Amino acid sequence: MTPSLMKVYTSKLCTTMHVPKFELLDGGESQFFESPERREAIHRFLVEHPETFEITEQFDDFGKEPIQRVHAQDFIEYLESAFELWIAEGGHPNGVIPSTIPHKKLQIGRVKPKTSFAKAGEYCFDLSAVITKDTFKAAWNAAQITLTATKELLRLGTEYEKNMVDGAINRSHPPGLYALVRPPGHHAQSNLCGGYCYINNAAVSTQWIIDQSEKESGQAKKVAILDIDFHHGNGTQEIFYNVRNPLYTSLHSEDEYPHFTGSELEKGEGDGLGYNINIPLPKNTTDDEYIETLEKLIRESVVPYKPDYIIVSLGVDTYKEDPIAGFLVTSDAYPRMGEAIRKIGVPTLFIQEGGYCIEKLGINVGGVLRGYLGKA
């Protein structure tokens, strides 16, 4: 495959499934921002650039096992049955939204959650992750599409490594792939949905690389996650907080959703101490400030980790006109992000997370990917 062509994994199902009617945004009833149009807009851009993107709409089913490696079994079973139970017990057909969440001081410990109304709060940390009739299947598909891309990443990565041994390597063009999926995943924790997220696609993919490489060669490959969504990936952080593989790194807005995670003081715990790196940036961060920080993070933390693979949680809600975010980043910055990531010289899978300015989603996501290919 020529390095100037990028394989994209997606499915029409990421448009047609999981279409919540509304959300409560900062107290107001608003459109559901994590919409099917997001995927349509990005897909349209990719289709218009066939010289750069090779789209595969088929995906394999890897079953439950790779999902259970990062999510609790009872949580997955809950997601699968939540809507049906909700309706059976008289919940509104709009879908499952918690009415109470077991805040620390709300738990005395004598009342065990039994009803779907209690479980809605037990397994969710905010009000944005409504579970509709087909939400579980949509999140399942997103994870399976991401796994299909991950399998190809490992194949291309092995080939790349082999060429490196043979001395034929072109480190300036590491393989890159893109999973265009929704719903997104980086807020989903081991047993909590929230922030439009249910199954953590980046975490599932990362753990699969680690497990699969260990199975195949006896030696687990090292993965670095680069989370460049505007919001902190609390889910990915929590899932890998106690391990040193993967390295989790995130650039995100301070004083923003999800509000209680994302501090630079969160460095990991136990074996994982030092392998969780958060860099909060101020509101109104500009192109140059963003790129400078990203390059520094790559230079000082990602490259020294010596990763074999990079997983990018690709959110483009850093964009200046994003309706729910607050940076000043312009479309010029996205190819520069892709270029900075390419320079790591490591096979990379980009996984779609946030980004809500529909008109500019294609050019911004496409910008990162083209920058990665050196075609910006």
Reply yes or no: is the peptide bond before residue 347 cis, omega within 30 of 0: no
Residue in the structure block whose two tokens are 């490259």: 303
Residues of span 172-191 touching ligand OKP by CB under 6 A: 184, 187
Closer CB to Zn ion, 205 or 253, in the complex: 253
Residues of span 188-217 touching ligand OKP by CB under 6 A: 195-196
Instruction: State the DSSP code for 106.
Output: G
Residues of span 255-294 touching ligand OKP by CB under 6 A: 257
Is residue 38 within the footprint of Zn ion (CB under 5 A)?
A: no
Is residue 353 within the footprint of ligand OKP (CB under 6 A)?
A: yes
Closer CB to Zn ion, 122 or 353, in the complex: 353
- Exactly one of 315, 347, 367, 371 binds Zn ion (CB under 5 A); that residue is 315
CA–CA dist 371, 156 (Å, integer): 19
Is residue 231 within the footprint of ligand OKP (CB under 6 A)?
A: yes
Catalytic option among 71, 187, 231, 232: 187
For residue 261, the minimal CB distance to ligand OKP (Å) is 12
Residues of span 198-237 touching Zn ion by CB under 5 A: 229-231
For residue 31, the minimal CB distance to ligand OKP (Å) is 12
Is residue 101 within the footprint of ligand OKP (CB under 6 A)?
A: no
Instruction: Report helix, strand or coil for 230.
Output: coil
The strand pairing partners of 229, in sequence order, are: none
For residue 210, the minimal CB distance to ligand OKP (Å) is 24
Q: Are 145 and 179 in contact (CB under 8 A)?
A: yes
CA–CA dist 213, 153 (Å, integer): 12
For residue 331, the minimal CB distance to Zn ion (Å) is 17
CA–CA dist 260, 255 (Å, integer): 9
Residues of span 323-352 touching ligand OKP by CB under 6 A: 324
252 as an active site residue: the answer is no
Instruction: State the DSSP code for 254.
Output: T
Q: What angle do CA 329, 334, 262 make, to 5 degrees?
A: 60
- Exactly one of 91, 268, 354, 371 binds ligand OKP (CB under 6 A); that residue is 354
CA–CA dist 7, 18 (Å, integer): 25
Closer CB to Zn ion, 82 or 333, in the complex: 333
The strand pairing partners of 7, in sequence order, are: 54, 177
Task: Mark out the alpha helices in the chain (DSSP H runs).
Answer: 13-16, 36-47, 65-68, 73-88, 116-122, 135-165, 201-217, 234-239, 287-297, 303-305, 333-342, 358-373
CA–CA dist 95, 17 (Å, integer): 14
CA–CA dist 63, 49 (Å, integer): 33
Is residue 140 within the footprint of ligand OKP (CB under 6 A)?
A: no
For residue 251, the minimal CB distance to Zn ion (Å) is 12
For residue 337, the minimal CB distance to Zn ion (Å) is 15
Which residues belong to the active site? 187
Residue numbers at the binding site for ligand OKP (CB under 6 A): 25-26, 128, 184, 187, 195-196, 229, 231, 257, 315, 317, 324, 353-354
Footprint on this chain of Zn ion (rule: CB under 5 A): 229-231, 315, 317, 354
